[in-house]
Amino acid sequence: MPDSPAPTRVLVLNSGSSSLKYQLLDMRDHRRLAQGLVERIGERTSTLSHTSLVGTEPAKREREGRIADHEEALNAVSEELSADGLGTDSPELAAVGHRVVHGGKLFSRPTLVDDAVEREIERLIPVAPLHNPANLTGIRTARSLRPDLPQVAVFDTAFHTTMPESASRYAMDIATADEHRIRRYGAHGTSHAYVSREAAKLLGRAEEDVNVIVLHLGNGASAAAVRGGRCVDTSMGLTPLEGLVMGTRSGDIDPAVVFHLVRNAGMSPEDVDVLLNKKSGLLGLCGDNDMREIIRRTGEGDESARLAFEIYIHRLKKYIGAYTAVLGRVDAVVFTAGVGENAAPVREAAIAGLEEMGLALDGDLNAVRADRARLISPEYARVAVAVVPTDEELEIATQTYALVSGVDDTSSATRADN
């Protein structure tokens, strides 16, 4: 009997508290074979929206009906995949890659999950109470469905574990900080890793030789200073609340605001948590967290939308300046995620006035809408400005496949065109 070929497919799972996002990729050419989303798990009506990408045209299927828990959700996903001949029982499936939000100080690389790794992810729940429990449920469910299959945890914090202590420590009592694991862990690391590597490719240079500032501007937003492929600073901290102005999060704020609200406004710590995470940022300033709306309203002369935009840009400029100082030499400033990839006015306003720092934009290039990596700075600019679409699922699949197959193909992991 001839040996069967090595499996090349990776299923990427991103489990939220009531959702399960998934993609199936073939790592020979990074082609997406299927993708989908289960929403409202545990509620009365759940939905599963599945898109098969194996035919000539994408084929979308929807189902509605109660899906009680993540186990049922993964079984439903498995059935949908089987209907396309891509089932989780297929021998072509090499591994499952799981997005895990918090890996603490310990996990600096993608990690094969065993019981000890599960326990460590569980131990980190106090620093990631919203995400790690759901990620763990996804891992446990997938392990029970295919116990024989390698399950790999890819941590959102891993890319930031290279930060020096000077950037990752808060200037607070060191014993208290250590006892409660208080330090700056960052987030969006999978995106920052992928985008900084793609930016080096776009510049035609080796990742080790390039210093970049990545601006991941989605509903959540963070900046990273990356020197030679290694993160040296990032704007999110113990939690994703620190740093840039976001859709609903305040970003940087004087911590005394919290004491003030608790002492003087009759708010509980939970109330302040909700205020700063869910009711602040762009939403808190002007009632909208969608940058499209804010740009539209600003165009119509809406004052609160204009103020929200200006505060957002002011914070962004401060981080570009700070990270230029941290890096010493910057080769590129790179925009990514929903706002960064699509909002030309945000890119224009963020770079405006930074000519003395070697930064400039080409207005025509900035106005182009495209979903490929591209430069938007003029040739004469000392620092390149780029837009690089992020692809966290591909990065998770690539890291997962590299671990289980022993083939590190990150240098060729650029996404396929589907």
Per CB under 6 A, residues contacting ligand AMP are: 218-219, 247, 289-292, 337-339, 342-343
Q: State yes or no: is 156 an active-site residue.
A: yes
Q: Does 172 count as an annotated binding residue?
A: no
Calpha distance 115→239 (Å, rounded): 26
Apex CA 145: angle with CA 144 and CA 151, to 5°?
75
- Tell how strand 221-227 and strand 230-234 pair up: antiparallel
Torsion of CA 321, 322, 328, 329, to 10 degrees: -40
Calpha distance 389→371 (Å, rounded): 6
- For tokens 């390039």, the residue is 210
Quote the least distance from Cβ 75 to ligand AMP, whole Å.
Answer: 27
Quote the least distance from Cβ 363 to ligand AMP, whole Å.
Answer: 17
| Helix (H) or strand (E) run with residue 335 in it | strand 332-336
Position of minimal CB gap to ligand AMP: 338
Q: Amino acid identity of 28?
A: R
Return the number of the residue (70 or 216) whose C-beta is nearest ligand AMP.
Answer: 216
Of 343, 412, 334, the C-alpha closest to 374 is: 334
Q: Does 244 count as an annotated binding residue?
A: no
Question: What's 83's DSSP letter?
Answer: H
Return the number of the residue (309 or 401) whose C-beta is nearest ligand AMP.
Answer: 309
Q: Does 233 count as an annotated binding residue?
A: no
Edge-to-edge strand list for the sheet holding 31-39: 59-65, 46-52, 31-39, 20-26, 9-15, 93-100, 151-155, 111-112
Torsion of CA 209, 215, 216, 220, to 10 degrees: 140
Quote the least distance from Cβ 305 to ligand AMP, whole Å.
Answer: 12
> Residue ranges of the alpha helices (H) in 234-343?
256-264, 269-278, 281-286, 291-299, 303-327, 337-342
Burial 104-132 (b: 16+ CB within 10 A, else e): beebeebbebeeebbeebeebeebbeebb
Burial 331-361 (b: 16+ CB within 10 A, else e): bbbbbbbbbbbbbbbbbebbbeebeebbbbb
Q: Does 347 count as an annotated binding residue?
A: no
Return the number of the residue (238 or 291) whose C-beta is nearest ligand AMP.
Answer: 291
Q: Name the catalytic one among 156, 233, 302, 391.
A: 156
Quote the least distance from Cβ 7 to ligand AMP, whole Å.
Answer: 31
Using alpha carbons only, how large is the chain's radius of gyration in Å? 22
Return the number of the residue (38 or 96) whose C-beta is nearest ligand AMP.
Answer: 38
User: What stretches of 102-235 adopt beta strand conformation (E)?
Assistant: 111-112, 151-155, 211-217, 221-227, 230-234
Q: Does 201 count as an annotated binding residue?
A: no
β partners of residue 22: 13, 36
Return the number of the residue (11 or 339) whose C-beta is nearest ligand AMP.
Answer: 339
Calpha distance 265→263 (Å, rounded): 6
Calpha distance 217→342 (Å, rounded): 10
Return the number of the residue (124 or 349) whose C-beta is nearest ligand AMP.
Answer: 349
Quote the least distance from Cβ 9 to ligand AMP, whole Å.
Answer: 25
Q: Does 220 count as an annotated binding residue?
A: yes
Q: Does 341 count as an annotated binding residue?
A: yes
Q: Does 228 count as an annotated binding residue?
A: no
Q: Does 291 count as an annotated binding residue?
A: yes
Tokens of 220: 């959540």
Annotated binding site for substrate: 99
Q: Which residues participate in the annotated binding site?
A: 14, 21, 99, 216-220, 290-292, 338-342, 392
Q: Active-site residues: which are they?
A: 156
**Binding-site residues for Mg(2+):** 14, 392
Q: Which residues are annotated as a binding site for ATP?
A: 21, 216-220, 290-292, 338-342
